[in-house]
Structure 1
Amino acid sequence: MGYSIAVADHNFEEEVLAKSKEMPVIVDFYADWCGPCKMLSPLLEEIASEYDCVVAKVDVDQNQQVAQAYQVQGIPDVKIFRDGEVIEGFVGVLQRPQLRELLAKCNIKSAIDEAIAAVKQQEEAGKVEQAKTEFLHLLEKYPQNAQVTLEAAKLFVRTNELNQAKEIIDSASSDDRNLLDAFSSIKALIHFQEECQNDSGDSEVAQLYAQACCLAVAEKYQEALDKFLQVVSKDRKFKDDGGRKAAIAIFNLLGNEHPLTAEYRRHLTSVLY
Protein backbone atom coordinates (compact mmCIF):
# COMPACT_ATOMS: atom_id res chain seq x y z
CA MET A 1 0.00 0.00 0.00
CA GLY A 2 1.32 3.44 -0.90
CA TYR A 3 0.99 6.92 0.54
CA SER A 4 0.91 10.59 -0.46
CA ILE A 5 3.50 13.17 0.60
CA ALA A 6 4.25 16.85 -0.04
CA VAL A 7 7.74 17.25 -1.50
CA ALA A 8 9.88 20.37 -1.92
CA ASP A 9 13.18 21.35 -3.55
CA HIS A 10 15.19 20.48 -0.43
CA ASN A 11 13.93 16.89 -0.04
CA PHE A 12 13.13 15.89 -3.64
CA GLU A 13 16.24 13.76 -3.96
CA GLU A 14 15.45 11.85 -0.76
CA GLU A 15 11.68 11.50 -1.13
CA VAL A 16 11.53 10.93 -4.89
CA LEU A 17 14.83 9.86 -6.44
CA ALA A 18 16.05 7.67 -3.58
CA LYS A 19 12.56 6.36 -2.74
CA SER A 20 11.95 5.40 -6.37
CA LYS A 21 14.67 2.77 -6.02
CA GLU A 22 12.38 0.99 -3.52
CA MET A 23 8.98 1.56 -5.20
CA PRO A 24 7.54 3.69 -8.03
CA VAL A 25 6.98 7.37 -7.22
CA ILE A 26 4.31 9.38 -9.03
CA VAL A 27 5.20 13.08 -8.91
CA ASP A 28 2.32 15.53 -9.30
CA PHE A 29 3.61 19.00 -10.27
CA TYR A 30 0.71 21.33 -9.43
CA ALA A 31 -0.28 24.81 -8.23
CA ASP A 32 -3.03 25.96 -5.89
CA TRP A 33 -4.56 28.23 -8.56
CA CYS A 34 -4.73 25.42 -11.17
CA GLY A 35 -8.28 24.15 -11.79
CA PRO A 36 -7.30 20.94 -13.63
CA CYS A 37 -4.83 20.19 -10.81
CA LYS A 38 -7.72 20.21 -8.34
CA MET A 39 -9.64 17.82 -10.61
CA LEU A 40 -6.71 15.39 -10.77
CA SER A 41 -5.72 15.53 -7.09
CA PRO A 42 -8.53 13.32 -5.66
CA LEU A 43 -7.82 10.64 -8.24
CA LEU A 44 -4.12 10.61 -7.36
CA GLU A 45 -5.02 10.37 -3.65
CA GLU A 46 -7.14 7.36 -4.53
CA ILE A 47 -4.18 5.85 -6.38
CA ALA A 48 -1.95 6.40 -3.33
CA SER A 49 -4.37 4.47 -1.13
CA GLU A 50 -4.74 1.57 -3.55
CA TYR A 51 -1.44 1.09 -5.35
CA ASP A 52 2.03 0.04 -4.26
CA CYS A 53 3.56 3.44 -4.97
CA VAL A 54 4.16 6.92 -3.57
CA VAL A 55 2.35 10.03 -4.79
CA ALA A 56 4.65 13.01 -4.29
CA LYS A 57 3.01 16.44 -4.66
CA VAL A 58 5.23 19.34 -5.72
CA ASP A 59 3.89 22.92 -5.70
CA VAL A 60 5.64 24.49 -8.69
CA ASP A 61 5.19 28.04 -7.36
CA GLN A 62 7.01 27.19 -4.15
CA ASN A 63 9.56 24.80 -5.66
CA GLN A 64 10.76 26.27 -8.93
CA GLN A 65 14.17 24.60 -8.83
CA VAL A 66 12.91 21.07 -9.24
CA ALA A 67 10.14 22.19 -11.62
CA GLN A 68 12.76 23.76 -13.90
CA ALA A 69 15.04 20.75 -13.60
CA TYR A 70 12.28 18.54 -15.00
CA GLN A 71 11.14 21.10 -17.59
CA VAL A 72 7.66 21.52 -16.17
CA GLN A 73 5.75 23.99 -18.32
CA GLY A 74 2.07 23.07 -18.27
CA ILE A 75 0.33 21.76 -15.17
CA PRO A 76 -0.75 19.39 -13.88
CA ASP A 77 2.38 17.60 -15.05
CA VAL A 78 2.65 14.05 -13.73
CA LYS A 79 5.92 12.12 -13.97
CA ILE A 80 6.46 8.53 -12.87
CA PHE A 81 9.88 7.71 -11.41
CA ARG A 82 11.54 4.34 -11.01
CA ASP A 83 15.18 3.80 -10.03
CA GLY A 84 15.78 7.54 -9.99
CA GLU A 85 14.61 8.08 -13.57
CA VAL A 86 11.40 9.27 -15.25
CA ILE A 87 9.80 6.29 -17.01
CA GLU A 88 6.40 7.72 -17.97
CA GLY A 89 4.15 10.70 -17.51
CA PHE A 90 1.43 12.96 -18.85
CA VAL A 91 0.34 16.59 -18.82
CA GLY A 92 -3.28 17.46 -18.02
CA VAL A 93 -6.01 15.29 -16.54
CA LEU A 94 -6.47 11.61 -17.32
CA GLN A 95 -9.70 9.80 -16.60
CA ARG A 96 -9.60 6.91 -14.13
CA PRO A 97 -9.51 4.09 -16.75
CA GLN A 98 -6.69 5.73 -18.72
CA LEU A 99 -4.66 6.35 -15.57
CA ARG A 100 -5.09 2.74 -14.48
CA GLU A 101 -3.95 1.58 -17.92
CA LEU A 102 -0.83 3.77 -17.64
CA LEU A 103 -0.01 2.34 -14.21
CA ALA A 104 -0.46 -1.19 -15.52
CA LYS A 105 1.90 -0.37 -18.38
CA CYS A 106 4.46 0.74 -15.78
CA ASN A 107 3.91 -2.52 -13.84
CA ILE A 108 2.62 -0.64 -10.80
CA LYS A 109 0.47 -3.05 -8.83
CA SER A 110 -2.97 -2.37 -7.40
CA ALA A 111 -3.53 -4.03 -4.03
CA ILE A 112 -7.28 -3.94 -4.71
CA ASP A 113 -6.96 -5.58 -8.14
CA GLU A 114 -4.82 -8.33 -6.62
CA ALA A 115 -7.31 -8.85 -3.78
CA ILE A 116 -10.24 -9.06 -6.22
CA ALA A 117 -8.34 -11.55 -8.39
CA ALA A 118 -7.67 -13.72 -5.32
CA VAL A 119 -11.35 -13.71 -4.36
CA LYS A 120 -12.35 -14.65 -7.90
CA GLN A 121 -9.96 -17.59 -7.76
CA GLN A 122 -11.71 -18.72 -4.58
CA GLU A 123 -15.06 -18.61 -6.35
CA GLU A 124 -13.70 -20.51 -9.36
CA ALA A 125 -12.32 -23.15 -6.97
CA GLY A 126 -15.81 -23.65 -5.54
CA LYS A 127 -15.13 -21.76 -2.30
CA VAL A 128 -18.13 -19.49 -2.86
CA GLU A 129 -18.97 -18.79 0.78
CA GLN A 130 -15.35 -17.86 1.48
CA ALA A 131 -15.36 -15.59 -1.58
CA LYS A 132 -18.49 -13.82 -0.36
CA THR A 133 -16.96 -13.29 3.08
CA GLU A 134 -13.78 -11.87 1.55
CA PHE A 135 -15.75 -9.47 -0.65
CA LEU A 136 -17.68 -8.21 2.37
CA HIS A 137 -14.34 -7.57 4.11
CA LEU A 138 -13.10 -5.68 1.04
CA LEU A 139 -16.27 -3.57 1.04
CA GLU A 140 -15.60 -2.64 4.67
CA LYS A 141 -11.97 -1.82 3.93
CA TYR A 142 -12.58 0.07 0.66
CA PRO A 143 -16.16 1.41 0.93
CA GLN A 144 -15.61 4.04 -1.75
CA ASN A 145 -13.88 1.82 -4.30
CA ALA A 146 -16.14 1.28 -7.31
CA GLN A 147 -14.37 -1.83 -8.56
CA VAL A 148 -14.83 -3.63 -5.24
CA THR A 149 -18.49 -2.56 -5.20
CA LEU A 150 -19.10 -3.79 -8.74
CA GLU A 151 -17.35 -7.14 -8.38
CA ALA A 152 -18.97 -7.86 -5.01
CA ALA A 153 -22.43 -7.08 -6.35
CA LYS A 154 -21.83 -9.28 -9.40
CA LEU A 155 -20.87 -12.21 -7.17
CA PHE A 156 -24.08 -11.88 -5.16
CA VAL A 157 -26.07 -11.72 -8.39
CA ARG A 158 -24.42 -14.95 -9.54
CA THR A 159 -25.29 -16.63 -6.23
CA ASN A 160 -28.86 -15.36 -6.55
CA GLU A 161 -28.69 -13.23 -3.40
CA LEU A 162 -30.34 -10.31 -5.12
CA ASN A 163 -31.29 -8.32 -2.02
CA GLN A 164 -27.64 -8.32 -0.92
CA ALA A 165 -26.57 -7.23 -4.40
CA LYS A 166 -29.14 -4.42 -4.38
CA GLU A 167 -27.96 -3.27 -0.95
CA ILE A 168 -24.35 -3.09 -2.14
CA ILE A 169 -25.21 -1.09 -5.25
CA ASP A 170 -27.66 1.21 -3.47
CA SER A 171 -24.94 2.13 -0.95
CA ALA A 172 -22.52 3.14 -3.71
CA SER A 173 -22.10 6.70 -4.93
CA SER A 174 -19.94 8.44 -7.49
CA ASP A 175 -19.82 11.58 -9.62
CA ASP A 176 -18.10 9.66 -12.43
CA ARG A 177 -20.55 9.08 -15.30
CA ASN A 178 -18.81 5.86 -16.34
CA LEU A 179 -19.12 4.45 -12.84
CA LEU A 180 -22.76 5.48 -12.57
CA ASP A 181 -23.39 3.63 -15.83
CA ALA A 182 -21.59 0.59 -14.38
CA PHE A 183 -23.74 0.71 -11.24
CA SER A 184 -26.84 0.88 -13.43
CA SER A 185 -25.62 -2.12 -15.39
CA ILE A 186 -25.41 -4.16 -12.17
CA LYS A 187 -29.01 -3.26 -11.46
CA ALA A 188 -29.69 -4.57 -14.95
CA LEU A 189 -27.92 -7.82 -14.04
CA ILE A 190 -30.21 -8.12 -11.03
CA HIS A 191 -33.15 -7.67 -13.40
CA PHE A 192 -31.66 -10.29 -15.73
CA GLN A 193 -31.41 -12.76 -12.87
CA GLU A 194 -35.03 -12.13 -11.88
CA GLU A 195 -36.19 -12.55 -15.48
CA CYS A 196 -34.07 -15.69 -15.88
CA GLN A 197 -35.91 -17.29 -12.97
CA ASN A 198 -39.40 -16.19 -13.93
CA ASP A 199 -41.77 -18.07 -16.18
CA SER A 200 -40.83 -16.74 -19.60
CA GLY A 201 -44.20 -17.34 -21.20
CA ASP A 202 -45.04 -19.15 -24.40
CA SER A 203 -44.13 -16.58 -27.03
CA GLU A 204 -40.87 -16.88 -28.99
CA VAL A 205 -39.84 -13.35 -28.03
CA ALA A 206 -40.47 -13.98 -24.32
CA GLN A 207 -38.37 -17.12 -24.43
CA LEU A 208 -35.58 -15.36 -26.33
CA TYR A 209 -35.55 -12.58 -23.76
CA ALA A 210 -35.43 -15.00 -20.82
CA GLN A 211 -32.62 -17.00 -22.48
CA ALA A 212 -30.65 -13.79 -23.09
CA CYS A 213 -31.08 -12.78 -19.45
CA CYS A 214 -29.73 -16.15 -18.27
CA LEU A 215 -26.74 -15.83 -20.61
CA ALA A 216 -26.01 -12.30 -19.33
CA VAL A 217 -26.02 -13.50 -15.72
CA ALA A 218 -23.59 -16.27 -16.74
CA GLU A 219 -21.36 -13.54 -18.30
CA LYS A 220 -21.80 -15.05 -21.76
CA TYR A 221 -22.25 -11.57 -23.11
CA GLN A 222 -21.89 -12.20 -26.84
CA GLU A 223 -24.55 -14.90 -26.84
CA ALA A 224 -26.78 -12.69 -24.70
CA LEU A 225 -26.39 -9.75 -27.07
CA ASP A 226 -27.23 -11.92 -30.06
CA LYS A 227 -30.52 -12.89 -28.46
CA PHE A 228 -31.36 -9.39 -27.22
CA LEU A 229 -30.89 -8.11 -30.76
CA GLN A 230 -33.26 -10.82 -31.98
CA VAL A 231 -35.81 -9.52 -29.47
CA VAL A 232 -35.38 -5.98 -30.82
CA SER A 233 -35.78 -7.23 -34.38
CA LYS A 234 -38.88 -9.30 -33.67
CA ASP A 235 -40.73 -7.00 -31.25
CA ARG A 236 -39.31 -3.58 -30.43
CA LYS A 237 -42.13 -2.91 -27.94
CA PHE A 238 -41.55 -6.08 -25.90
CA LYS A 239 -41.10 -5.17 -22.22
CA ASP A 240 -41.09 -1.45 -23.09
CA ASP A 241 -38.15 -1.67 -25.53
CA GLY A 242 -36.54 -4.19 -23.20
CA GLY A 243 -34.23 -5.77 -25.77
CA ARG A 244 -32.55 -2.47 -26.66
CA LYS A 245 -32.29 -1.37 -23.02
CA ALA A 246 -30.78 -4.73 -22.06
CA ALA A 247 -28.16 -4.50 -24.82
CA ILE A 248 -27.19 -0.99 -23.67
CA ALA A 249 -26.91 -2.26 -20.09
CA ILE A 250 -24.39 -4.87 -21.26
CA PHE A 251 -22.44 -2.19 -23.16
CA ASN A 252 -22.22 -0.18 -19.94
CA LEU A 253 -21.14 -3.26 -18.02
CA LEU A 254 -18.38 -4.11 -20.50
CA GLY A 255 -17.24 -0.50 -21.01
CA ASN A 256 -16.75 1.52 -24.18
CA GLU A 257 -13.33 0.05 -24.91
CA HIS A 258 -14.48 -3.57 -24.99
CA PRO A 259 -14.53 -5.02 -28.55
CA LEU A 260 -18.01 -6.49 -28.07
CA THR A 261 -19.36 -3.04 -27.22
CA ALA A 262 -18.09 -1.50 -30.44
CA GLU A 263 -19.20 -4.46 -32.56
CA TYR A 264 -22.69 -4.81 -31.11
CA ARG A 265 -23.41 -1.09 -31.00
CA ARG A 266 -23.09 -1.25 -34.79
CA HIS A 267 -25.32 -4.34 -34.95
CA LEU A 268 -27.92 -2.66 -32.72
CA THR A 269 -27.93 0.45 -34.90
CA SER A 270 -28.47 -1.62 -38.04
CA VAL A 271 -31.36 -3.48 -36.40
CA LEU A 272 -32.98 -0.25 -35.20
CA TYR A 273 -32.62 1.69 -38.45
Structure 2
Amino acid sequence: MGVSIDVNSQNFETEVLLQSHEQPVVVDFFATWCGPCQMLKPMLEKLVTEYDCVLAKVDIDQNPDLANVYGVEGVPDVKFFLAGQVVDGFVGVLPEPQIRDRLAQLGLESALERGLKAIAAAEAAADPETAKRQFAHLMQQYPEDRRLILAGARFLIQQGSYDSAIKLLSAIQPSEAADYRTAVGLQGMAQFQQAIADIKPDSELDQLYLQGAKAAIAQDHETALSYFLQVVERDRRYRDDGGRKAMVALFNLLGDEAALTQAYRRRLMQALY
Protein backbone atom coordinates (compact mmCIF):
# COMPACT_ATOMS: atom_id res chain seq x y z
CA MET A 1 0.00 0.00 0.00
CA GLY A 2 1.31 3.44 -0.95
CA VAL A 3 1.06 6.80 0.74
CA SER A 4 -0.32 10.21 -0.21
CA ILE A 5 1.57 13.33 0.88
CA ASP A 6 1.64 17.07 0.28
CA VAL A 7 4.93 18.23 -1.22
CA ASN A 8 6.48 21.70 -1.57
CA SER A 9 9.70 23.27 -2.78
CA GLN A 10 11.45 22.53 0.52
CA ASN A 11 10.85 18.77 0.64
CA PHE A 12 10.49 17.95 -3.08
CA GLU A 13 14.03 16.62 -3.39
CA THR A 14 13.63 14.28 -0.42
CA GLU A 15 10.05 13.15 -0.93
CA VAL A 16 10.13 12.88 -4.73
CA LEU A 17 13.60 12.76 -6.26
CA LEU A 18 15.33 10.67 -3.60
CA GLN A 19 12.26 8.57 -2.81
CA SER A 20 11.83 7.69 -6.49
CA HIS A 21 15.04 5.64 -6.24
CA GLU A 22 13.18 3.38 -3.81
CA GLN A 23 9.71 3.25 -5.39
CA PRO A 24 7.76 5.06 -8.11
CA VAL A 25 6.47 8.51 -7.20
CA VAL A 26 3.37 9.97 -8.85
CA VAL A 27 3.43 13.77 -8.71
CA ASP A 28 0.09 15.52 -9.06
CA PHE A 29 0.60 19.19 -9.98
CA PHE A 30 -2.75 20.82 -9.15
CA ALA A 31 -4.47 24.09 -8.27
CA THR A 32 -7.24 24.61 -5.75
CA TRP A 33 -9.31 26.58 -8.29
CA CYS A 34 -9.10 23.82 -10.92
CA GLY A 35 -12.28 21.76 -11.33
CA PRO A 36 -10.67 18.83 -13.18
CA CYS A 37 -8.00 18.69 -10.44
CA GLN A 38 -10.73 18.07 -7.89
CA MET A 39 -12.09 15.26 -10.08
CA LEU A 40 -8.69 13.60 -10.46
CA LYS A 41 -7.52 13.92 -6.86
CA PRO A 42 -9.82 11.31 -5.25
CA MET A 43 -9.12 8.90 -8.11
CA LEU A 44 -5.36 9.13 -7.52
CA GLU A 45 -5.80 8.89 -3.75
CA LYS A 46 -7.90 5.75 -4.21
CA LEU A 47 -5.34 4.15 -6.50
CA VAL A 48 -2.44 4.84 -4.17
CA THR A 49 -4.16 2.70 -1.51
CA GLU A 50 -3.73 -0.27 -3.87
CA TYR A 51 -0.27 0.29 -5.33
CA ASP A 52 3.16 0.41 -3.72
CA CYS A 53 3.96 3.96 -4.74
CA VAL A 54 3.92 7.53 -3.42
CA LEU A 55 1.40 10.16 -4.47
CA ALA A 56 3.02 13.59 -4.07
CA LYS A 57 0.59 16.50 -4.40
CA VAL A 58 2.05 19.87 -5.43
CA ASP A 59 -0.01 23.08 -5.38
CA ILE A 60 1.37 25.09 -8.30
CA ASP A 61 0.18 28.41 -6.85
CA GLN A 62 2.16 27.79 -3.68
CA ASN A 63 5.14 26.29 -5.55
CA PRO A 64 5.51 28.14 -8.89
CA ASP A 65 9.21 27.30 -9.02
CA LEU A 66 8.47 23.57 -9.23
CA ALA A 67 5.80 24.17 -11.86
CA ASN A 68 8.32 26.14 -13.88
CA VAL A 69 11.13 23.58 -13.54
CA TYR A 70 8.88 20.74 -14.72
CA GLY A 71 7.15 22.65 -17.49
CA VAL A 72 3.67 22.65 -16.01
CA GLU A 73 1.49 24.79 -18.27
CA GLY A 74 -1.93 23.43 -17.41
CA VAL A 75 -3.41 21.45 -14.56
CA PRO A 76 -3.91 18.78 -13.55
CA ASP A 77 -0.47 17.68 -14.75
CA VAL A 78 0.62 14.26 -13.49
CA LYS A 79 4.22 13.12 -13.79
CA PHE A 80 5.71 9.74 -12.91
CA PHE A 81 9.18 9.71 -11.38
CA LEU A 82 11.66 6.82 -11.28
CA ALA A 83 15.30 7.10 -10.20
CA GLY A 84 15.03 10.87 -9.93
CA GLN A 85 13.70 11.35 -13.46
CA VAL A 86 10.32 11.94 -15.09
CA VAL A 87 9.55 8.78 -17.06
CA ASP A 88 5.91 9.31 -18.03
CA GLY A 89 2.94 11.57 -17.40
CA PHE A 90 -0.32 13.03 -18.63
CA VAL A 91 -2.25 16.28 -18.55
CA GLY A 92 -5.95 16.43 -17.71
CA VAL A 93 -8.20 13.71 -16.33
CA LEU A 94 -7.81 10.16 -17.61
CA PRO A 95 -10.25 7.31 -16.93
CA GLU A 96 -9.14 5.09 -14.08
CA PRO A 97 -8.35 2.07 -16.31
CA GLN A 98 -5.91 4.19 -18.34
CA ILE A 99 -4.16 5.38 -15.18
CA ARG A 100 -3.89 1.77 -14.09
CA ASP A 101 -2.27 0.97 -17.43
CA ARG A 102 0.29 3.73 -16.83
CA LEU A 103 1.07 2.31 -13.39
CA ALA A 104 1.45 -1.16 -14.87
CA GLN A 105 3.99 0.24 -17.33
CA LEU A 106 6.03 1.31 -14.30
CA GLY A 107 6.09 -2.31 -13.18
CA LEU A 108 3.46 -1.82 -10.49
CA GLU A 109 0.75 -4.32 -9.63
CA SER A 110 -2.01 -3.50 -7.18
CA ALA A 111 -2.90 -5.62 -4.18
CA LEU A 112 -6.31 -6.15 -5.76
CA GLU A 113 -4.77 -7.37 -9.01
CA ARG A 114 -2.55 -9.80 -7.10
CA GLY A 115 -5.60 -11.02 -5.23
CA LEU A 116 -7.59 -11.55 -8.42
CA LYS A 117 -4.69 -13.53 -9.90
CA ALA A 118 -4.57 -15.71 -6.79
CA ILE A 119 -8.31 -16.33 -7.11
CA ALA A 120 -7.91 -17.29 -10.77
CA ALA A 121 -5.16 -19.73 -9.79
CA ALA A 122 -7.41 -21.26 -7.10
CA GLU A 123 -10.25 -21.63 -9.61
CA ALA A 124 -7.90 -23.22 -12.14
CA ALA A 125 -6.80 -25.67 -9.45
CA ALA A 126 -10.47 -26.54 -8.74
CA ASP A 127 -10.18 -25.12 -5.22
CA PRO A 128 -13.39 -23.09 -4.79
CA GLU A 129 -13.07 -22.85 -1.00
CA THR A 130 -9.75 -21.01 -1.28
CA ALA A 131 -11.20 -18.76 -3.99
CA LYS A 132 -14.23 -18.03 -1.80
CA ARG A 133 -12.04 -17.03 1.17
CA GLN A 134 -9.91 -14.79 -1.03
CA PHE A 135 -12.98 -13.11 -2.51
CA ALA A 136 -14.33 -12.44 0.98
CA HIS A 137 -11.01 -10.91 2.03
CA LEU A 138 -10.83 -8.65 -1.02
CA MET A 139 -14.46 -7.58 -0.69
CA GLN A 140 -13.70 -6.33 2.83
CA GLN A 141 -10.85 -4.20 1.47
CA TYR A 142 -12.37 -3.06 -1.84
CA PRO A 143 -16.16 -3.36 -1.52
CA GLU A 144 -16.85 -0.77 -4.24
CA ASP A 145 -14.40 -2.00 -6.87
CA ARG A 146 -16.32 -2.88 -10.00
CA ARG A 147 -13.76 -5.37 -11.32
CA LEU A 148 -14.01 -7.29 -8.06
CA ILE A 149 -17.81 -7.20 -8.07
CA LEU A 150 -17.95 -8.53 -11.64
CA ALA A 151 -15.36 -11.24 -10.92
CA GLY A 152 -17.18 -12.18 -7.73
CA ALA A 153 -20.49 -12.45 -9.56
CA ARG A 154 -18.93 -14.74 -12.19
CA PHE A 155 -17.59 -16.94 -9.39
CA LEU A 156 -20.96 -17.08 -7.62
CA ILE A 157 -22.70 -18.01 -10.85
CA GLN A 158 -20.20 -20.84 -11.40
CA GLN A 159 -20.93 -22.04 -7.85
CA GLY A 160 -24.67 -21.96 -8.41
CA SER A 161 -25.29 -19.05 -6.02
CA TYR A 162 -27.47 -17.19 -8.52
CA ASP A 163 -29.42 -14.99 -6.11
CA SER A 164 -26.21 -13.88 -4.40
CA ALA A 165 -24.65 -13.04 -7.76
CA ILE A 166 -27.64 -10.96 -8.83
CA LYS A 167 -27.66 -9.15 -5.47
CA LEU A 168 -23.95 -8.35 -5.79
CA LEU A 169 -24.41 -7.01 -9.32
CA SER A 170 -27.24 -4.72 -8.23
CA ALA A 171 -24.62 -2.31 -6.83
CA ILE A 172 -23.64 -1.34 -10.40
CA GLN A 173 -25.84 1.45 -11.75
CA PRO A 174 -26.95 2.30 -15.32
CA SER A 175 -24.75 5.41 -15.28
CA GLU A 176 -21.66 3.19 -15.15
CA ALA A 177 -21.80 2.40 -18.86
CA ALA A 178 -19.59 -0.58 -19.74
CA ASP A 179 -19.62 -2.07 -16.23
CA TYR A 180 -23.41 -1.89 -16.18
CA ARG A 181 -23.70 -3.64 -19.54
CA THR A 182 -21.45 -6.42 -18.27
CA ALA A 183 -23.48 -6.63 -15.06
CA VAL A 184 -26.73 -6.97 -17.01
CA GLY A 185 -25.12 -9.67 -19.11
CA LEU A 186 -24.00 -11.57 -16.02
CA GLN A 187 -27.43 -11.22 -14.46
CA GLY A 188 -28.74 -12.84 -17.61
CA MET A 189 -26.24 -15.69 -17.25
CA ALA A 190 -27.40 -16.25 -13.67
CA GLN A 191 -30.98 -16.34 -14.86
CA PHE A 192 -30.05 -18.83 -17.60
CA GLN A 193 -28.47 -21.10 -14.99
CA GLN A 194 -31.59 -20.80 -12.84
CA ALA A 195 -33.77 -21.64 -15.83
CA ILE A 196 -31.77 -24.78 -16.56
CA ALA A 197 -32.21 -25.86 -12.96
CA ASP A 198 -35.88 -24.92 -12.58
CA ILE A 199 -37.74 -25.26 -15.90
CA LYS A 200 -39.32 -28.57 -16.76
CA PRO A 201 -39.59 -28.66 -20.57
CA ASP A 202 -43.33 -29.19 -20.79
CA SER A 203 -43.78 -27.19 -23.98
CA GLU A 204 -41.95 -26.39 -27.20
CA LEU A 205 -41.26 -22.87 -25.90
CA ASP A 206 -39.72 -24.33 -22.74
CA GLN A 207 -37.46 -26.48 -24.88
CA LEU A 208 -36.43 -23.56 -27.08
CA TYR A 209 -35.67 -21.35 -24.07
CA LEU A 210 -33.69 -24.09 -22.32
CA GLN A 211 -31.65 -24.79 -25.46
CA GLY A 212 -30.88 -21.09 -25.68
CA ALA A 213 -29.90 -20.95 -22.00
CA LYS A 214 -27.60 -23.98 -22.34
CA ALA A 215 -25.96 -22.50 -25.43
CA ALA A 216 -25.45 -19.18 -23.63
CA ILE A 217 -23.80 -20.90 -20.66
CA ALA A 218 -21.55 -22.78 -23.12
CA GLN A 219 -20.69 -19.40 -24.71
CA ASP A 220 -22.19 -20.48 -28.03
CA HIS A 221 -23.74 -17.07 -28.36
CA GLU A 222 -25.01 -17.33 -31.93
CA THR A 223 -26.90 -20.54 -31.20
CA ALA A 224 -28.32 -19.01 -28.02
CA LEU A 225 -29.53 -15.90 -29.82
CA SER A 226 -31.12 -18.03 -32.52
CA TYR A 227 -33.15 -20.01 -29.96
CA PHE A 228 -34.19 -16.92 -28.00
CA LEU A 229 -35.25 -15.19 -31.22
CA GLN A 230 -37.54 -18.13 -31.98
CA VAL A 231 -39.12 -17.69 -28.54
CA VAL A 232 -39.76 -13.99 -29.31
CA GLU A 233 -41.28 -14.82 -32.70
CA ARG A 234 -43.64 -17.40 -31.24
CA ASP A 235 -44.80 -15.77 -28.00
CA ARG A 236 -43.72 -12.45 -26.52
CA ARG A 237 -45.59 -13.30 -23.32
CA TYR A 238 -43.49 -16.38 -22.54
CA ARG A 239 -41.67 -15.90 -19.18
CA ASP A 240 -42.71 -12.23 -19.12
CA ASP A 241 -41.04 -11.36 -22.44
CA GLY A 242 -38.21 -13.72 -21.52
CA GLY A 243 -36.95 -14.30 -25.05
CA ARG A 244 -36.34 -10.61 -25.71
CA LYS A 245 -34.82 -10.06 -22.26
CA ALA A 246 -32.47 -12.99 -22.80
CA MET A 247 -31.30 -11.54 -26.11
CA VAL A 248 -30.72 -8.13 -24.52
CA ALA A 249 -28.66 -9.77 -21.77
CA LEU A 250 -26.44 -11.37 -24.40
CA PHE A 251 -26.16 -8.09 -26.32
CA ASN A 252 -24.89 -6.47 -23.13
CA LEU A 253 -22.42 -9.28 -22.54
CA LEU A 254 -21.11 -9.20 -26.12
CA GLY A 255 -21.02 -5.39 -26.43
CA ASP A 256 -22.64 -3.04 -28.94
CA GLU A 257 -19.85 -3.38 -31.49
CA ALA A 258 -19.97 -7.16 -31.76
CA ALA A 259 -21.12 -8.45 -35.15
CA LEU A 260 -23.56 -10.86 -33.50
CA THR A 261 -25.11 -8.05 -31.47
CA GLN A 262 -25.65 -5.91 -34.53
CA ALA A 263 -27.02 -8.75 -36.64
CA TYR A 264 -29.42 -10.12 -34.04
CA ARG A 265 -30.52 -6.70 -32.85
CA ARG A 266 -31.79 -6.06 -36.40
CA ARG A 267 -33.52 -9.44 -36.47
CA LEU A 268 -35.06 -8.75 -33.06
CA MET A 269 -36.42 -5.40 -34.26
CA GLN A 270 -37.96 -7.13 -37.29
CA ALA A 271 -39.59 -9.72 -35.04
CA LEU A 272 -40.97 -7.07 -32.69
CA TYR A 273 -42.28 -4.65 -35.30
Cα deviations by residue, 1:79-125 (Å, 9 ceiling, x for unpaired): 11111111211111111222222222332211101111101211211
Q: Is the Cα contact below 8 Å between 2:5 and 2:56 reproduced in 1?
A: yes
CA–CA distance in structure 2, aligned partners of residues 140 and 196 of structure 1: 32
Question: How far 1:65 moved relative to its partner?
Answer: 1.0
The answer to whether structure 1 residue 267 and structure 2 residue 251 are counterparts is no
Q: State, as a whole percentage, how many aligned pairs show the same letter.
A: 36
SS state of the match for residue 73, structure 1? coil
Greater shift after overlay, 160-169 or 110-119? 160-169
- How far has the Cα of 1:215 moved from its partner? 4.8
Aligned to 2:184: 184
1:118-137 equivalences under 5 Å are 118-137=118-137
Matched, 1:247 2:247: no
The secondary structure found in structure 2 opposite 1:50 is coil
Mark the CA change 1:268 to 1:75 in structure 2 (over 3 Å): closer, same or farther.
farther
Corresponding pairs, count: 262
Structure with higher Rg: it is: 2
Q: Residues 173-205 of structure 1, C-alpha deviation per residue, up to 9 Å, x if partnerless?
A: 796433343433332332222123233636777
**Partner SS state of residue 187, structure 1:** helix
For the residue of structure 2 that corresponds to 1:183, the secondary structure is: helix
Residues in 2 aligned to 1:103 and 1:209: alpha-carbon distance in whole angstroms? 45
Q: For 1:138 and 1:47, how far apart are their aligned partners in 2?
A: 15
How far off is 1:11 after superposition? 1.1
Cα distance, 1:17 vs structure 2: 1.4
Structure 1 residue 137: Cα displacement: 1.4
Any conservation in 2 of the 1:2–1:53 contact (CA below 8 Å)? Answer: yes
Question: 1:2, 1:204 → 2: CA distance?
Answer: 59
Any idea what SS the aligned residue of 1:81 has? strand
Root mean square deviation, CA, Å = 2.7
- TM (normalized to structure 1)? 0.84
Corresponding position: 1:157 with 2:157: yes
Cα pair distance change 1:108/1:200, threshold 3 Å: farther
Q: Could you tell me how far 1:77 is from its partner in structure 2?
A: 0.9
Amino acid at match of 1:117: K
Q: Does 1:13 align with 2:13?
A: yes
Residue 142 of structure 1 corresponds to 142
Q: What corresponds to 1:195 in structure 2? A: 195
